Structure 1
Amino acid sequence: MEDLQPRVFSLKKDKPTCARFMYNDTYVAVGTENGRILILPLTNPNKRTDQDSGPINATMKKLRGHKKSITSMDIQFAKNILVTGSEDTTVAIWKGKDATVIRPNDGIIKFVSVSQANDLVLIAGEDGCPSVWNIETGDAVVLMKQFPSRVTAAAMAPNGKLFAVSTEENGCQLFDTNSGRPISQIPTPEVVSAISFSDESGLIALGCIDGQITVYDYKHHTIVVEKEVHYSKINSIALHPFDPILVSASQEGLHVSNPLNLIPRFSVEGEERIFQTISFSGSGNQYVTSATDKKLYLFETPTNEEMNPPENVSDNEVEEEQPAVEVMTPQVSYSTNFHLSIANEEDEQEANLSQPPEDANVKLMKIVIEKLFGLQEILDDMTKRIQVIDQQIARIQNFQKQRENE
């Protein structure tokens, strides 16, 4: 199977912090560090269709209002209502160019999560007082008491019936949206840093600060699988809305795996960039992630056949082989549509395109070599420990002989 190649869009001036698909997956809304929101077209503006419900002038739009960095963003696909949270402690509900501003009095906003089934949004700030609001009326639905420790992650289920909040001391809890009361506590090996729901499967994925992922069946209150998938803090995690696909990102890169076994099937190395947020399109056919290198990466979602290739196992093999990790090599997209959309302002032009990516096989070989070196270090450490134990045993034996001679 060929390597998956993402489309890569570069921003000259604005540094993206988060991104979401909108307008039938033909546009991407991008939150930036300076508080602006960019609406970027992914289709040719000269070839509009009746299904394209985006802006009439299909060039890049800018929404202004926040005074500081956009920290979180989500969208209700059916109504194309965009919700943004900011370091300026406000939440904006965008309907076209106009916005309703919510001030939840929860400090810097860290997480906003929108229900796809009703008009609700979960808001969580650094002061530890999560709340649920109606995005049509701007009214508060649930105001929770302040948690005793910092909120580290929060998300609402797409059906709007449940939401999850994780804190440094109390772990991750599920709450009923109507009452705001806790339903269950989800055990995790470490502090949770990212949360994602899937109504279709009844699963919730929890990424931890040490790289471990816990997949929990919230309908039957059981842990499906728990595994170390990354070696560092998981910045973002996303369950596919319909299929058994999970995408997770950390400092060392991005992994695509099956949430039922957490075996990575595809990966992209972090290299000099850090992937920040991940979100699927409304159809689930694509996912987008922003990165610290001022770029957006758009991926086609793997098919079920690509996620579960046929296994060729001989009769002589005893151990079952894990699916090989396939490296996805990002490449710069020479999309004229994108660059035309930002060419109206000089500060948005990209002067230098990225260098050609390294061959995928070479990258994979480097990963294997690094793993081997890591195993060698572990073996050396174990050898030293065994030597110390042998010395201790020898000392004990000598001591026993001396006691017998006495």
Structure 2
Amino acid sequence: MSVHFGLPRLSMTVLSVPNKDPVLLSYLLFVQRIIQSNNKKFKQYPLVGYFWSDDVMLPDVNKPTALQTNYGKLFSELHLLLHENHKTFGLTSLVNTNKLLSGIPSTDHVKAFSTLARFCDIISVKDGQGSGTSGLFWVTQRSQVISKADPGLFAVLREQLPVLSTNTTYEQVFWNSISEVFDALADARDALQNKSVSVDLWLNIEVYDVLHTDPCLPVDEQASGLDRMLNPIKKSRVDSVLTAAGTAPQKVVAMAWDPSFTCVTDSQPAPLRTQVRADMGRPVIAHCSMHSSFNRSVVVIGYNLDGLQQMYTIDWPNANGQRTKSNVYGYYFELDWGSQHQRVPSLMYVQTFDPYDVTKLAPRGVVRVQAGNSYHACVFEYDFTKADDDNRLQKHESRVAKKKYVRVKNEPYRRIEAQDSKF
């Protein structure tokens, strides 16, 4: 276990005054006293760092009046102060690709992320689904109507945009999906690491919806959670965010444990905490693709995929233009994939038996993969008519240049090969 405390909050208004140096100096001296006191109080406990107490909005980071003017110097000083005390410094940010709520494309998220990385050790990124600033959808769903594909997200959007048409599509509202943003942020993190800038990317799941139809009551007045009326979510939503974030994050967290995890409502008699504990073994696919253009076996990476009888339903396009569903099992497992690749340690790698005769597989198309007993499917596109398709597929998940899925070095301690089973 590792513990991170929150830093004392400093108002943005205070930072906006022309001569803010005395304010910053006083604040830093105050923080230094707190750190020194905590070092004595919690010397025997796993206190490893501190988080900034406010969310840093990614769309605002590179605006001239934002980080450089107000937060740049403060974060630099905090980063230095905490490192002098052998503690890490973390920031919490929010994905916002909503065109109607001042959102930005994934490319600008990368620029903001790279800017923040200079000032901290951890960037915890909220998914944005519960706030309506981003959406859980696949590239193949861009033209779909939100109100039909995800009524819950549409309700959140309508709460903030009352005139939003019921026929609005994902591409009309969002620049990119949550999965696209996290893929881009992971690539940025790895690129920074090659430049000796080390920063961890965390997924911060929003365990609420900004709605008031079935809220957690009473509102938390003790500052241990959220101070607004918000609807709780179900465990299936947690799984969908894990699928969307893929293998990008190195840790998964959820802030404001109370009351979002502990409350009960009229429509949700069991708190989210109970749902998660009772359903911890359910499989979740975080990534799916073909191994390569030369080995077209389907690869999945996710959580709780270690069952030898874990079945996968693969919906694939054949050369005749029709779709076919096949049930297959895994035959090659890397149960330590997350640890070996510096991702969430519980991530597992599975290569499945081929669900098709490769001569009957369409040269390009969309494949849908769902693990048996899982809530959500994983979707990927492929195109073997392009010369660089193999490189694209390999890069998508390894995120390390020229590194293949199957390792030839560092023999894993939990590698299993199994025989096929009838289905």
Normalised by the length of structure 2, the TM-score is 0.24
Question: Which has the larger share of strand?
Answer: 1
Kindly indicate whether structure 1 or structure 2 has the higher relative contact order, using CA contacts under 8 Å at least 6 residues apart: 1
Greater helix share, 1 or 2? 2
Compute the TM-score of the two structures, normalised by the length of structure 1: 0.24
